[in-house]
């Protein structure tokens, strides 16, 4: 499986993951436990090519914090940009990011969209994070679904998200899925998300067969 995003620059190689876990008093910290069964893909949308550069990582980090402090329950676990990844909510805690019952069994991963960023680098980082979460939580690629799909399966009014990927931009979902496979194959993962070196050892002991697009360390 070849790398899909050919234009990926060194930004993504240097990208780092930062835990900016929201304080417990935030309403978007639900304090409800979950075992993740799905990884849900999102993009914020303010209209194609219309999102100003000021809607950056800092903007959304501030927004989710202020929303939470003001009592808004909407939240998501990760925000991925072209140079950084932020985590706001622990993966084993419920977050309200789909408007469906998938909220109680999934990890929400938003990808930053604004003018001035490298979309391919952000997409690579999102694929790398999804690959990491698949390994960590023992999930196959069939458990990586779009926000739209959670609503379809719940028979709730559709919401076209992630809209750009669904519209086929940047290679659409097939390209994105290929990049996930590439990250698994080359072990291009955010290792800082693994809590112990034991888990990493287990990962490498498995002698991954990434062509199967499936990695299982724990879970069912
Ligand atoms: Zn969404």
pLDDT in tens, 90-133: 999 999 999 999 999 999 999 999 988 999 999 999 999 999 99
Residue 195: pLDDT band with limits 50, 70, 90: confident
Q: Can you list the alpha helix ranges (DSSP code H) found in the chain?
A: 10-14, 57-69, 119-137, 147-153, 163-166, 172-185, 197-205
Distance between CA atoms of 174 and 1, rounded to whole angstroms? 12
Question: How much distance in Å is there from the Cα of 193 to the middle of ligand 1?
Answer: 23
The answer as to whether 135 is a domain residue is yes
Question: How much distance in Å is there from the Cα of 199 to the middle of ligand 1?
Answer: 30
The answer as to whether 5 is a domain residue is no
The answer as to whether 38 is a domain residue is yes
Q: Which residues contact 90 (CB under 8 A, 6 or more apart)?
A: 21, 77
The answer as to whether 1 is a domain residue is no
pTM of the model: 0.88
Summarize pLDDT for 135-163 with one digit per residue, the tens. 999 999 999 999 999 999 999 998 899 99
Distance between CA atoms of 185 and 28, rounded to whole angstroms? 35
The answer as to whether 219 is a domain residue is no
Question: How much distance in Å is there from the Cα of 9 to the middle of ligand 1?
Answer: 26
The answer as to whether 215 is a domain residue is no
Question: How much distance in Å is there from the Cα of 99 to the middle of ligand 1?
Answer: 9
Distance between CA atoms of 128 and 87, rounded to whole angstroms? 14
| Domain containing residue 80 | 10-210
Distance between CA atoms of 213 and 211, rounded to whole angstroms? 5
Q: Mean pLDDT of all residues in the chain?
A: 87
Question: How much distance in Å is there from the Cα of 8 to the middle of ligand 1?
Answer: 24
Question: How much distance in Å is there from the Cα of 197 to the middle of ligand 1?
Answer: 33
The answer as to whether 2 is a domain residue is no
Question: How much distance in Å is there from the Cα of 184 to the middle of ligand 1?
Answer: 24
């Amino acid at each position: 499986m070849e790398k899909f995003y050919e234009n990926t620059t060194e930004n993504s190689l240097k990208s780092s993951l930062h835990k900016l876990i929201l304080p417990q008093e935030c309403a978007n910290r639900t304090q409800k436990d979950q075992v993740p069964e799905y990884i849900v893909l999102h993009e914020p949308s303010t209209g194609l090519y219309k999102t100003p550069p000021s809607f950056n990582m800092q903007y959304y980090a501030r927004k989710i914090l202020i929303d939470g402090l003001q009592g808004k329950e909407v939240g998501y676990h990760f925000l991925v940009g072209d140079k950084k990844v932020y985590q706001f909510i622990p993966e084993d805690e419920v977050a309200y990011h789909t408007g469906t019952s998938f909220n109680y069994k999934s990890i929400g991963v938003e990808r930053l969209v604004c003018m001035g960023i490298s979309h391919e680098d952000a997409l690579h980082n999102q694929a790398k994070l999804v690959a990491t979460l698949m390994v960590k939580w023992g999930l196959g690629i069939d458990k990586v679904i779009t926000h739209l799909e959670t609503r379809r399966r719940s028979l709730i009014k559709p919401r076209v998200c992630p809209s750009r990927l669904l519209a086929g931009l940047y290679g659409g979902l097939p390209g994105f899925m290929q990049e996930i496979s590439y990250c698994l194959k080359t072990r291009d993962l955010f290792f800082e998300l693994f809590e112990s070196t034991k888990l990493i050892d287990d990962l490498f002991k498995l002698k991954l067969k990434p062509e199967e697009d499936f990695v299982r360390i724990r879970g069912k």
